Amino acid sequence: MSQLKMGFRWFGSKDDDISLSQIRQIPGTKQVVGALFDVPVGAVWPQAEIDALKKEVTDAGLKLEVIESVNIHDDIKIGLPSRDKYIANYIQTIKNLSKAGIKVICYNFMPVFDWLRTDLHHQLADGSNAMMYEQSKLPHDPEALMDQMKTGSRGFSLPGWEPERLAALKDLFAAYKDVNEEKLVANCKYFLDAIMPTCEKYDVRMAMHPDDPPKPLFGLPRIYKNVEDMRRIEGLHESRYNGFTICTGSLGENPVNDLPAIIREFVPKDRVPFMHVRNIKFVNKQGDFHESAHPSSEGSLDMFEIMKALHDTNYDGYIRPDHGRNIWNEDGRPGYGLYDRALGITYLTGLWEALEKM
C-alpha cells in the first residue's frame, strides 16, 4: 500500500504553541513542514540554524524534507539590478538546505502580500471560527488591510506577513508601479533560469504556491491563478525541478478552477512535488467564502474527487492538510491550530486508504 507522505506545518519551538510530540501523535504523520522564520527575506539561511531545526525535528521522531517557505525578495519580483545579489543568496540557501536533506522548497511569487483574508476569526454556526474572505470588506487602502490583518491575528505572527518588510508599504507599492503581469512573469523566468541548475545539481525541487485569493488585488499582478497560468509557468523553464504546490483551497477559491483536472494534467508530468489540501465554503454567488473543515460535506470542494485524482495519477509527492478552523476552545494561529488540521489528516488518510483498497 502506498503511503501518503503526510506532513504538518510547524512554526518552530519559539513561535508555535503546538509541540513536535503532539504532531508525532497524529496518525499517519511523519513529516514536518518547517522553515526558519527569523531569517530576513533575501538573506542566506545559515547552515547551523538549518541543521539545528533538522536535528530538533529528527530527534522528535519526525522528518524534515519540505520547507515552506523560502520567500523571494521583492527586488527579484520587481526586477531591480539588486536582484542578482538576492538570487545568489537564494542559491546558497538551496545548497545549505540540500545538505540537510531538504527535497522541496515551497515558495510564492506574489507581489507585496502573501495570502490575505478579510476576517481571521469568522464565527461559524457550530461555535468554531475560521478565516473568511469577503470582497466588500477588502479595504481600498492596503495600509488599512495591514491593520486589519494585524488586529485580526490577535498577536500571532502570520506567514508571509513580515512586519519589517511591510513597514514601508507605500515605497513597496511605488516600486511595483511598472510591474505588470508580463514583467512579473519575465522576472519569474529570470529567477527560475538562475536557480534551476543548482536545484538540479542539489536535487531540491521548487514548488510554487498559487496566489491566494487567485486574482489581482490592489492593482498588483498575479501570475498563478489558474490552469493557463500553470502552463505558462511550467514553460518558463522545462524541468521537473520547476514545480507547483497545488493548493486546493487557494485555486478552489475560483470556482472555475477544476482541481481534479489540474491534478490529472500536472501530476503525470512530474511537476507537483507538494500538495496543500483543504476545503472552503462559498457563501454567495460572488465567490465570498470561509474556510471549512476538510470533509466534502462541510465545504464546496469535492475532496474525494481531489484525492481520487491524486490516487489515479500515482501521486507520491508530499502532502499536508491546510488551514483548519479553531475548534474545541483552541485559540490557535489563524488557520494553523492543532485539532482541525489533525482531523483533516485523519480524513485525508481515510480517503486514501479507501482508494487504495477499492
| ∠ Cα 204 210 213 (to 5°) | 155
Q: Provide the CA 253 distance to its chain's centre, in angstroms.
A: 14
Active-site residue, selected from the candidate residues 73, 122, 209, 294: 209
110 or 308: whose CB is closer to ligand DNO? 110
Active-site residue, selected from the candidate residues 176, 247, 339, 347: 247
Helix (H, G, I), strand (E, B) or coil at 102: coil
69 or 128: whose CB is closer to ligand DNO? 69
Q: Which residues contact 317 (CB under 8 A, 6 or more apart)?
A: 5, 104, 267, 272, 273, 274, 275
26: left (phi over 0), alpha (psi -120 to 50) or beta: beta
68 or 298: whose CB is closer to ligand DNO? 68
State the DSSP H helix or E strand holding residue 8, giving kind and residue range, or none if neither: strand 5-9
Active-site residue, selected from the candidate residues 16, 211, 322, 340: 322
Q: How far is the CB of 224 from ligand DNO (least distance, A)?
A: 10
**Does the active-site annotation cover 73?**
no
**Does the active-site annotation cover 258?**
no
| ∠ Cα 267 103 294 (to 5°) | 55
Q: How far is the CB of 245 from ligand DNO (least distance, A)?
A: 7
Q: Which residues contact 82 (CB under 8 A, 6 or more apart)?
A: 75
**Does the active-site annotation cover 121?**
no
Q: Could you list the residues that contact ligand DNO (CB under 6 A)? A: 68-69, 106-108, 114-115, 159-160, 209, 335
Residue with CB nearest ligand DNO? 69
Q: How far is the CB of 345 from ligand DNO (least distance, A)?
A: 16
Closest CA to 133 of 144, 120, 145, 146: 120
Q: How far is the CB of 216 from ligand DNO (least distance, A)?
A: 16
115 or 176: whose CB is closer to ligand DNO? 115
**Does the active-site annotation cover 336?**
yes
Verify cis geometry, omega within 30 degrees of 0, for the bond prior to 69: yes
**Does the active-site annotation cover 241?**
no
208 or 263: whose CB is closer to ligand DNO? 208
C-alpha cell at 142: 492596503
Q: How far is the CB of 336 from ligand DNO (least distance, A)?
A: 7
**Does the active-site annotation cover 176?**
no
The residues that are catalytic are: 209, 247, 276, 322-323, 336
